[in-house]
Structure 1
């Protein structure tokens, strides 16, 4: 499996990852042979890159934290929740809770898997996939930090619904128009949820140095749940180029996170977050410091920046295929990601 820019796709190639619609149904299944029409549709939907399977080539395993069934369930429930809010109706707190339970089961079962955000994102499903990814990453961080099940559930629900204020009504007091205020006002009324869950939506744009929004609180005034969600939120936005942000490769996004440490992001939380993400995801083409060209094929849980690379060429020429484990080769490093 290889990560390919949408402009480099060709008819006949096999799609490597399933494409979900905004309500969680499958639009294109993994393994389908792409046609000119399908490629045109992907481009129209705003898809920047996709994973492609290469027949005859050694398969690259893309380990996932969440199963396809869990992704469908969460996306479907987020669609139902946000559509209810758009219509001015109440959403089901119990249904959200059940979806979060399913997601937490996957996270706890796959704690040794590094996060590789590989799902195909479109204009229609972007908000739901973003919410799911932030929830998944926040839950992984919380689990690594030793949170108990009650704490994990509070964090997971808050992270999944951190942007719910983008759909809610304006806050009751003048000036409370920021979506963090609106999210807090919506969630604090849900008696099924802890007030700490509402504070995730309330505080996920606050910053340790007091420069955040909507209240400009700082340091320990910001709850740990919100600090964790803030890191996951920014990382997912950077990797997918949300809003006016340019789309960054994971290693570039991680560099950006480092630059935000102690100002926008909590340093200790950031250290924990960097333990769960893959710096160079499987399927990415890279150039090594010895001029060899290869594809990342496997990860090391404790060394996310030192993956296993399958060599396919030397720069400017061909080369015999072999695998190099960068964890065992300390003088060899990844020099660049090749788009």
Structure 2
């Protein structure tokens, strides 16, 4: 499959990756033939890119850390929590804990798979997918940093609920009503949770140099869980940005994160993050320094900037074969730009 802009999708093309609704159910399944109505609906709900099945790249591996079953469960749990808080009710700590246990099972089983945030986001599911991604990334970083299982679960629950202060109330960016404060106030009263979980919500917008919010803490006063969650939170926001300048590609997001090392973000956390992220994910189109264009089809753990690129040989508009360039074996060839 290949990642493409929604504006370039044509009726009759085959969807390459499942799209979830806001409550965790499947909106469109992998393999469905797209119609004019489906494409228009995807645009209307805020989808900007999708994966299209392409015979030339059908054999590309798209392994993911989380299974579709786990993703559905996490999104559904977040949806139920949103509805509960919106109605002024409490939420089930036990249900959240079970959801995190399932997510950690996937993380431990698939910890050698590089992170590639590929789920299609819409206006309805964005908040829930963000929470899921931040939780997954944080748990992988924590695993790399040697946290034990008790610590990993505390971190993962805190990361999943880091934005809980936004649920059921308008966002206010100042003072005690900032969502970090609201999240802390909500979670500190959950007797089933360690107070450290509440501090993830409280501190994930703090910065190493004291320039963060809501309290302007500096490095020594920010808990490791919050430092980890901050990296995951900012990375996911870069990849799925709703700002005017738009979303960043993974390599651009990583460059931005590295520029924040030691000032906004913790250097050691960033080092561990860079070991688990796919800078040039499978399925994206790239231009190489030798003037060839191709699609990334394989990765090397530990060498995220040197993937395997498939270049299609054509006669006119007809594909007649392909050549794969392993950048790990060709040190003089590099990725010059990302095309999609």
- TM class by shorter chain equals over 0.9
Following TM superposition, by how much is the alpha carbon of 1:331 offset from its aligned partner in structure 2, in angstroms? 1.4
Equivalent position of 1:22 in the other structure? 22
Equivalent position of 2:291 in the other structure? 291
Equivalent position of 1:100 in the other structure? 100
Kept in 1, the 8 Å contact 2:279–2:305? The answer is yes
In the TM superposition, 1:20-59 aligns within 5 A as: 20-55=20-55, 57-59=57-59
In structure 1, what is the Cα distance between the partners aligned to 2:30 and 2:169?
39
1:57–1:156 Cα change, 3 Å: closer
Equivalent position of 2:135 in the other structure? 135
The worse-fitting range, judged by mean Cα deviation, of 48-57 and 30-39 is 48-57
Equivalent position of 2:78 in the other structure? 78
List alignment gaps of at least 5 residues for structure 2.
none
C-alpha deviations, 1:113-143, integer Å up to 9, x for none? 0011111100000000000000000000001
C-alpha deviations, 1:207-262, integer Å up to 9, x for none? 00000000000011000100010000000000011355621111111111111111
Equivalent position of 2:332 in the other structure? 331
Kept in 1, the 8 Å contact 2:2–2:57? The answer is no
Equivalent position of 2:4 in the other structure? 4
Following TM superposition, by how much is the alpha carbon of 1:106 offset from its aligned partner in structure 2, in angstroms? 0.2
Q: Aligned to 1:176, what secondary structure does the other structure show?
A: helix
Kept in 1, the 8 Å contact 2:175–2:214? The answer is no
1:59–1:196 Cα change, 3 Å: same
In the TM superposition, 1:212-291 aligns within 5 A as: 212-244=212-244, 246-291=246-291
In structure 1, what is the Cα distance between the partners aligned to 2:338 and 2:54?
20
Kept in 2, the 8 Å contact 1:168–1:182? The answer is no
In structure 1, what is the Cα distance between the partners aligned to 2:98 and 2:143?
18
Q: Aligned to 2:50, what secondary structure does the other structure show?
A: strand
List, as ranges, runs of 4+ consecutive aligned residues in structure 1 with deviation greater than 6 Å: 316-319
In structure 2, what is the Cα distance between the partners aligned to 1:331 and 1:319?
27
Following TM superposition, by how much is the alpha carbon of 1:175 offset from its aligned partner in structure 2, in angstroms? 3.3
In structure 1, what is the Cα distance between the partners aligned to 2:156 and 2:231?
14
1:146–1:245 Cα change, 3 Å: farther
C-alpha deviations, 1:148-168, integer Å up to 9, x for none? 000000000000000000125
Alignment length (residue pairs): 335
Kept in 2, the 8 Å contact 1:238–1:245? The answer is no
List alignment gaps of at least 5 residues for structure 1.
none
In structure 2, what is the Cα distance between the partners aligned to 1:320 and 1:287?
18
Q: Output the TM-score relative to the length of structure 1.
A: 0.95
Q: Aligned to 1:141, what secondary structure does the other structure show?
A: helix
Kept in 1, the 8 Å contact 2:116–2:277? The answer is yes
1:312 and 2:315 are equivalent in the alignment: no
In structure 2, what is the Cα distance between the partners aligned to 1:96 and 1:108?
18
CA-based RMSD of the aligned residues comes to: 1.8
In structure 1, what is the Cα distance between the partners aligned to 2:125 and 2:167?
15
Q: Output the TM-score relative to the length of structure 2.
A: 0.95
